[in-house]
Amino acid sequence: MPMMMLKGNESTAYAAKLARVKVVPAYPITPSTVFPEKVSELIANGEMDAEFLPVESEHSALSAAIGAAATGVRTMTATASQGLAFMHEVLYIASGMRLPIVMAIGNRALAAPVNIWADQQDTMAERDSGWIHFYAETNQEALDLTIIAFKVAENENVLLPALMGMDAFVLTHTMEPVNVPEQKDVDAFLGEKKINYPVLDPQKPATFGAFVFPEHYMEFKYSQHIAMEHAKKVIDESFDQFYMKFKRKYSKVSGFMVEDADVILVTMGSMTGTARETVRKLREKGEKVGLVKITVFRPFPREEILEITKNADIIAVVDRNISPGFAGAIFTEIAASYSNVKDKPRILDFILGLGGRDVKIENYEEIYERAKKAKSGKFEEVQWIDVDEKSVKEVEGSL
């Protein structure tokens, strides 16, 4: 298997090629522009056999992907931030029509203020759109998870679209050594694209995404929900099969030094690497701290989270997003997962790294110190890290 120096966007482009994607409709937006560039280059060089559709907007990109996927071919696109927000209504159509489209996202902040850097607000805003969510920590993961996303999305018990998020620039534009699998191995892993759902066929006319009265709408939403629940098992099986073939192990949540940890940090995406390094450093000083990385956010791995964090005193969730007026999305999910558990750890939320602000070891050390203090005495449930509170309070007033 060749090692290549790839940017995150190139990793997902190679994943598209290796998955033998047949249609790529895309509209460029920073930081995911390199994906359509690389895909069109691969097609122009004759390395990839696919149709590239340069459409006029992200809304059209996903609409075209729906049309392509409805013919039964493997379809992929990519976007970020405002582009994803512009796709919003089409995301629900793709999932409601149960089309296994895969989309790579360069996770980026939403305007205003305009900002093109790393932030997971864009995909968190699409939490309820019925898409499966994967998040990569590295460019290797970006490639692998994109290939796995096809396997999961196309499973006949799932048939849902999947997105794969990677942080803007930290992954999308940073070169890392990536082990690019052999074509024959990916072929063996994914298999030929099966036509396991009704497809557009002039010989068999049908209505797709039909109008539905109140008498039936709930049943369609319920069936989507069941499919998402099925995806939990299918994701586990696909991760296992991927490991058998490629010897790279994935799981919906993975722990690092969690066994005896009093404080467990929870992260998602590229910021996990820095957190792991911090945990290693703190462990050398004898601190009982661990780390949980979330790789799959939808379906939410509730059972795995409860299991892996159950012995901790404090769960310190780190959110690179904020729902103004409440908390970050991951905190919300974890707190809700614990809602019917009797003895639970104290769960705290730390907002960090919005709009591409550097995520540093010092930040995690501060989070750890604050979390440890919260074990006894007063604490704030949601805390902002590395933010100039003084300047903000001069304008907005104090709470």
Partner 1 sequence: MKITKGVVISEPGSTALEETGSWRTFRPEIRYEKCIRCMICWNFCPEPAIEKKPGEEYPVANQKLIKMPVPVINYQYCKGCGICVNECPTKAIDFVREEK
Residue closer to partner 1 by CB (options 219, 381) is: 219
Residue closer to partner 1 by CB (options 101, 147) is: 101
Encoding tokens for residue 91? 């995301």
Binders of partner 1 in range 38-97 (CB under 8 A): 96-97
Measured from the CB of residue 161, what is the shortest distance to partner 1 in angstroms? 11
Site string for partner 1, 169-208 (x = CB under 8 A): ----------------------------xx-----xxxxx
Residue closer to partner 1 by CB (options 219, 307) is: 219
Measured from the CB of residue 156, what is the shortest distance to partner 1 in angstroms? 9
Encoding tokens for residue 359? 């995520």
Q: Which of 7, 22, 98, 370 binds partner 1 (CB under 8 A)?
A: 98
Measured from the CB of residue 97, what is the shortest distance to partner 1 in angstroms? 5
Measured from the CB of residue 196, what is the shortest distance to partner 1 in angstroms? 9
Q: Tell me the one-letter amino acid at 141.
A: E
- 3-state class of 225 per DSSP? helix
Encoding tokens for residue 208? 């797709």
Query: Do residues 356 and 109 touch, judged by C-beta distance below 8 A?
Result: yes
Query: Do residues 49 and 20 touch, judged by C-beta distance below 8 A?
Result: yes
Q: Which of 174, 185, 187, 209 binds partner 1 (CB under 8 A)?
A: 209
Residue with tokens 């679209």: 161
| Binding-site size, partner 1 (CB under 8 A) | 22
The secondary structure of residue 117, as a DSSP letter, is S
Measured from the CB of residue 92, what is the shortest distance to partner 1 in angstroms? 12
Query: Do residues 296 and 225 touch, judged by C-beta distance below 8 A?
Result: no
Site string for partner 1, 134-163 (x = CB under 8 A): -------------------------x----
Measured distance CA(288)–CA(301) in Å, rounded: 24
Query: Do residues 128 and 323 touch, judged by C-beta distance below 8 A?
Result: no
122 CB neighbour count, 10 Å cutoff: 23
Dihedral of CA 269/88/127/328: which sign? positive
Residue closer to partner 1 by CB (options 52, 208) is: 208
Taking CA atoms, 282 is separated from 160, 255, 263, 277, 289, in Å, by: 41, 16, 11, 9, 7
- Angle (deg, nearest 10), helices 302-309 and 329-337: 80
Q: In DSSP terms, which residues pair with 23 in a beta bridge?
A: 51, 75
Measured from the CB of residue 151, what is the shortest distance to partner 1 in angstroms? 18
Query: Do residues 123 and 133 touch, judged by C-beta distance below 8 A?
Result: yes
Residue closer to partner 1 by CB (options 57, 196) is: 196
Query: Do residues 263 and 288 touch, judged by C-beta distance below 8 A?
Result: yes
The secondary structure of residue 109, as a DSSP letter, is P
Binders of partner 1 in range 212-231 (CB under 8 A): 212-213, 215-216, 219-220, 223, 227
Measured from the CB of residue 214, what is the shortest distance to partner 1 in angstroms? 10
Rule CB under 8 A: is residue 380 a binding residue for partner 1? no
Site string for partner 1, 301-340 (x = CB under 8 A): ----------------------------------------
Residues lying near partner 1 in the complex (CB under 8 A) are found at 96-99, 159, 197-198, 204-210, 212-213, 215-216, 219-220, 223, 227
